[in-house]
Homo-oligomer: A and B are copies of this chain.
Amino acid sequence: MYNFEKNIKMTSLTEEDYIKAIYKLYRIKNKPVSTNAIAEVMEIKPSSVTDMIKKLSAKGFLEYEKYKGVSITEKGKKKALQIIRKHRLWEFFLVEKLNFKWDEIHVIAEQLEHIDSDELIDKLEGYLNYPKFDPHGDPIPDKHGNITHHKDFTVFDLEEGKQAVILGLKTDNADLLKFLDTHQIKLQDTLKVLAKNKFDNSVSIEINGKQINFTEKTAKNIYVKTIK
Protein backbone atom coordinates (compact mmCIF):
# COMPACT_ATOMS: atom_id res chain seq x y z
CA MET A 1 0.00 0.00 0.00
CA TYR A 2 2.74 2.45 0.86
CA ASN A 3 5.17 2.39 -2.00
CA PHE A 4 5.63 5.94 -3.05
CA GLU A 5 8.46 4.54 -5.12
CA LYS A 6 10.29 7.76 -5.77
CA ASN A 7 9.34 9.03 -9.15
CA ILE A 8 12.76 9.82 -10.57
CA LYS A 9 11.83 11.69 -13.71
CA MET A 10 14.68 13.20 -15.67
CA THR A 11 12.53 16.18 -16.66
CA SER A 12 10.01 17.97 -14.50
CA LEU A 13 6.50 18.67 -15.68
CA THR A 14 7.48 22.31 -16.06
CA GLU A 15 10.57 21.56 -18.11
CA GLU A 16 8.50 19.34 -20.36
CA ASP A 17 6.00 22.12 -21.02
CA TYR A 18 8.84 24.46 -21.95
CA ILE A 19 10.46 21.93 -24.27
CA LYS A 20 7.17 21.26 -25.99
CA ALA A 21 6.34 24.94 -26.44
CA ILE A 22 9.81 25.79 -27.74
CA TYR A 23 9.80 22.83 -30.10
CA LYS A 24 6.50 23.99 -31.59
CA LEU A 25 7.63 27.59 -31.95
CA TYR A 26 10.92 26.57 -33.48
CA ARG A 27 9.26 24.21 -35.91
CA ILE A 28 7.01 26.81 -37.46
CA LYS A 29 9.58 29.65 -37.59
CA ASN A 30 12.59 27.48 -38.26
CA LYS A 31 14.94 29.94 -36.62
CA PRO A 32 15.89 30.80 -33.05
CA VAL A 33 12.88 31.52 -30.87
CA SER A 34 12.71 34.72 -28.84
CA THR A 35 12.35 34.85 -25.10
CA ASN A 36 9.22 36.95 -25.42
CA ALA A 37 7.57 34.54 -27.82
CA ILE A 38 8.03 31.73 -25.33
CA ALA A 39 6.79 33.88 -22.47
CA GLU A 40 3.73 34.78 -24.48
CA VAL A 41 2.57 31.28 -25.39
CA MET A 42 3.33 29.99 -21.91
CA GLU A 43 1.69 32.94 -20.22
CA ILE A 44 4.63 33.68 -17.95
CA LYS A 45 7.14 36.52 -17.64
CA PRO A 46 10.20 36.76 -19.91
CA SER A 47 12.55 36.74 -16.92
CA SER A 48 11.27 33.32 -15.92
CA VAL A 49 11.90 32.10 -19.44
CA THR A 50 15.49 33.31 -19.39
CA ASP A 51 16.18 31.27 -16.27
CA MET A 52 14.61 28.14 -17.65
CA ILE A 53 16.26 28.25 -21.07
CA LYS A 54 19.62 28.49 -19.35
CA LYS A 55 18.81 25.39 -17.40
CA LEU A 56 17.46 23.47 -20.38
CA SER A 57 20.49 24.42 -22.45
CA ALA A 58 22.77 23.14 -19.72
CA LYS A 59 20.81 19.89 -19.86
CA GLY A 60 21.26 19.69 -23.62
CA PHE A 61 17.67 20.17 -24.73
CA LEU A 62 18.20 23.63 -26.17
CA GLU A 63 20.91 25.66 -27.79
CA TYR A 64 21.04 29.15 -26.46
CA GLU A 65 23.03 32.24 -27.18
CA LYS A 66 22.45 35.23 -24.98
CA TYR A 67 20.17 37.82 -26.58
CA LYS A 68 19.96 35.68 -29.72
CA GLY A 69 17.12 33.33 -28.86
CA VAL A 70 17.02 29.54 -28.50
CA SER A 71 16.80 26.63 -30.87
CA ILE A 72 16.02 23.04 -30.03
CA THR A 73 18.62 20.27 -30.15
CA GLU A 74 18.05 16.76 -31.43
CA LYS A 75 17.71 15.64 -27.84
CA GLY A 76 15.14 18.35 -27.19
CA LYS A 77 13.22 17.50 -30.33
CA LYS A 78 13.07 13.87 -29.32
CA LYS A 79 11.79 14.75 -25.87
CA ALA A 80 9.21 17.15 -27.30
CA LEU A 81 7.91 14.52 -29.71
CA GLN A 82 7.59 12.02 -26.87
CA ILE A 83 5.42 14.45 -24.96
CA ILE A 84 3.36 15.33 -28.02
CA ARG A 85 2.92 11.62 -28.72
CA LYS A 86 1.59 11.07 -25.23
CA HIS A 87 -0.66 14.11 -25.42
CA ARG A 88 -2.27 13.01 -28.67
CA LEU A 89 -2.64 9.35 -27.78
CA TRP A 90 -4.38 10.29 -24.55
CA GLU A 91 -6.65 12.69 -26.47
CA PHE A 92 -7.56 9.87 -28.81
CA PHE A 93 -8.30 7.63 -25.84
CA LEU A 94 -10.51 10.24 -24.20
CA VAL A 95 -12.64 10.68 -27.31
CA GLU A 96 -12.74 7.12 -28.63
CA LYS A 97 -13.04 5.18 -25.39
CA LEU A 98 -14.47 7.60 -22.86
CA ASN A 99 -16.71 9.57 -25.23
CA PHE A 100 -15.41 12.99 -24.41
CA LYS A 101 -16.10 15.74 -26.91
CA TRP A 102 -13.12 17.12 -28.80
CA ASP A 103 -13.28 20.45 -27.01
CA GLU A 104 -13.01 18.86 -23.55
CA ILE A 105 -9.88 16.79 -23.88
CA HIS A 106 -6.98 19.19 -24.29
CA VAL A 107 -6.84 20.32 -20.67
CA ILE A 108 -6.90 16.75 -19.40
CA ALA A 109 -4.27 15.60 -21.91
CA GLU A 110 -2.13 18.52 -20.77
CA GLN A 111 -1.84 16.63 -17.48
CA LEU A 112 -1.75 13.08 -18.79
CA GLU A 113 1.13 13.85 -21.17
CA HIS A 114 3.47 14.03 -18.17
CA ILE A 115 2.79 10.54 -16.84
CA ASP A 116 6.13 8.82 -16.91
CA SER A 117 6.04 5.29 -18.31
CA ASP A 118 7.12 4.17 -21.74
CA GLU A 119 5.40 0.85 -21.28
CA LEU A 120 2.15 2.59 -20.50
CA ILE A 121 2.16 4.68 -23.64
CA ASP A 122 3.18 1.83 -25.89
CA LYS A 123 0.44 -0.40 -24.51
CA LEU A 124 -2.06 2.41 -24.80
CA GLU A 125 -1.09 2.90 -28.42
CA GLY A 126 -1.64 -0.78 -29.14
CA TYR A 127 -4.95 -0.78 -27.30
CA LEU A 128 -6.10 2.14 -29.44
CA ASN A 129 -4.94 0.34 -32.57
CA TYR A 130 -2.07 2.60 -33.54
CA PRO A 131 -4.03 5.71 -34.47
CA LYS A 132 -2.26 8.07 -36.85
CA PHE A 133 -4.13 11.28 -35.93
CA ASP A 134 -5.58 12.75 -32.77
CA PRO A 135 -9.19 13.99 -32.58
CA HIS A 136 -8.12 17.41 -33.88
CA GLY A 137 -6.45 15.90 -36.93
CA ASP A 138 -2.92 16.35 -35.58
CA PRO A 139 -0.48 13.56 -36.48
CA ILE A 140 0.68 11.23 -33.69
CA PRO A 141 4.45 10.58 -33.62
CA ASP A 142 5.46 6.92 -33.49
CA LYS A 143 7.56 5.53 -30.64
CA HIS A 144 10.76 6.59 -32.39
CA GLY A 145 9.55 10.16 -32.79
CA ASN A 146 8.77 9.93 -36.50
CA ILE A 147 6.02 12.29 -37.54
CA THR A 148 4.64 13.71 -40.77
CA HIS A 149 3.40 17.21 -40.23
CA HIS A 150 0.54 18.84 -42.04
CA LYS A 151 1.55 21.22 -44.77
CA ASP A 152 1.07 24.73 -43.53
CA PHE A 153 -1.86 25.34 -45.84
CA THR A 154 -5.11 26.66 -44.39
CA VAL A 155 -8.55 27.80 -45.47
CA PHE A 156 -7.10 31.29 -45.61
CA ASP A 157 -4.67 30.22 -48.32
CA LEU A 158 -7.40 28.89 -50.64
CA GLU A 159 -8.37 30.87 -53.69
CA GLU A 160 -11.96 31.70 -54.54
CA GLY A 161 -13.81 28.80 -56.10
CA LYS A 162 -11.42 26.17 -54.76
CA GLN A 163 -12.69 23.04 -53.06
CA ALA A 164 -10.83 21.47 -50.15
CA VAL A 165 -11.02 18.88 -47.37
CA ILE A 166 -10.46 19.76 -43.72
CA LEU A 167 -7.41 17.89 -42.41
CA GLY A 168 -6.77 19.31 -38.98
CA LEU A 169 -6.59 22.30 -36.70
CA LYS A 170 -3.67 24.47 -35.79
CA THR A 171 -4.91 24.83 -32.23
CA ASP A 172 -6.87 22.75 -29.73
CA ASN A 173 -8.55 25.89 -28.43
CA ALA A 174 -11.93 24.89 -27.00
CA ASP A 175 -13.70 27.96 -28.31
CA LEU A 176 -12.70 27.27 -31.89
CA LEU A 177 -13.79 23.65 -31.49
CA LYS A 178 -17.16 24.67 -30.07
CA PHE A 179 -17.61 27.13 -32.90
CA LEU A 180 -17.06 24.35 -35.40
CA ASP A 181 -19.46 22.09 -33.50
CA THR A 182 -22.12 24.79 -33.64
CA HIS A 183 -21.94 24.66 -37.40
CA GLN A 184 -21.57 20.89 -37.54
CA ILE A 185 -18.15 21.14 -39.13
CA LYS A 186 -15.93 18.10 -38.69
CA LEU A 187 -12.59 16.80 -39.89
CA GLN A 188 -12.70 15.40 -43.45
CA ASP A 189 -15.63 17.61 -44.39
CA THR A 190 -15.42 19.17 -47.85
CA LEU A 191 -15.76 22.91 -48.30
CA LYS A 192 -15.77 25.38 -51.16
CA VAL A 193 -14.57 28.96 -51.04
CA LEU A 194 -17.37 31.21 -52.25
CA ALA A 195 -15.59 34.50 -51.70
CA LYS A 196 -12.55 36.05 -50.09
CA ASN A 197 -13.67 39.32 -48.62
CA LYS A 198 -11.18 42.12 -49.02
CA PHE A 199 -12.80 44.38 -46.45
CA ASP A 200 -12.21 42.29 -43.30
CA ASN A 201 -10.18 39.39 -44.70
CA SER A 202 -12.99 36.97 -43.91
CA VAL A 203 -13.62 33.93 -46.07
CA SER A 204 -17.10 32.88 -47.15
CA ILE A 205 -17.41 29.15 -47.61
CA GLU A 206 -20.00 26.57 -48.38
CA ILE A 207 -19.87 23.42 -46.29
CA ASN A 208 -22.39 20.61 -45.89
CA GLY A 209 -24.89 22.59 -47.94
CA LYS A 210 -24.66 25.62 -45.63
CA GLN A 211 -22.95 28.95 -46.02
CA ILE A 212 -20.62 30.33 -43.37
CA ASN A 213 -18.25 33.22 -42.98
CA PHE A 214 -14.89 32.48 -41.40
CA THR A 215 -12.91 35.30 -39.85
CA GLU A 216 -9.28 35.55 -40.84
CA LYS A 217 -8.28 34.11 -37.48
CA THR A 218 -10.53 31.11 -37.86
CA ALA A 219 -9.58 30.53 -41.50
CA LYS A 220 -5.90 30.53 -40.60
CA ASN A 221 -6.38 27.82 -38.00
CA ILE A 222 -7.90 25.18 -40.24
CA TYR A 223 -5.56 22.99 -42.29
CA VAL A 224 -6.90 21.82 -45.64
CA LYS A 225 -5.88 20.07 -48.79
CA THR A 226 -7.42 21.05 -52.13
CA ILE A 227 -9.27 18.47 -54.17
CA LYS A 228 -9.19 18.00 -57.93
Interface residues, chain A, with chain B CB atoms under 8 Å away:
1-7, 17, 21, 24, 41-43, 94, 97-100, 104, 106-108, 110-112, 115-117, 119-120, 123-124, 127, 170-174
Contact = CB atoms under 8 A, between A and B. Distances in A.
Contacts of A94: 120
Nearest to A28: B1
A2 B17 contact: no
Nearest to A115: B111
Contacts of A5: 106-107, 110
A99 B112 contact: no
A106 B173 contact: no
18 contacts: A1-B24, A1-B171, A2-B24, A3-B171, A3-B173, A4-B17, A4-B43, A7-B107, A7-B111, A94-B120, A99-B123, A100-B119, A100-B123, A107-B117, A108-B117, A111-B115, A111-B116, A111-B117
A98 B110 contact: no
B115 A98 contact: no
A3 B123 contact: no
Given A5-B107, A99-B123, A111-B115, 16 more contacts: A1-B24, A1-B173, A2-B24, A3-B110, A3-B172, A4-B17, A4-B43, A5-B110, A7-B107, A97-B127, A98-B123, A98-B127, A100-B123, A108-B120, A111-B116, A115-B115
Contacts of A7: 107, 110-111
A85 to B, nearest CB: 15
Contact of A3 (B97, B98, B106, B112): B106
Contacts of A99: 123
A172 B1 contact: yes
B123 A2 contact: no
B117 A115 contact: no
Contacts of A21: 2
B4 A110 contact: yes
A160 B209 CA distance: 79
Contacts of A3: 106-107, 110, 171-174
A171 B120 CA distance: 22
Contact of A170 (B1, B4, B110): B1
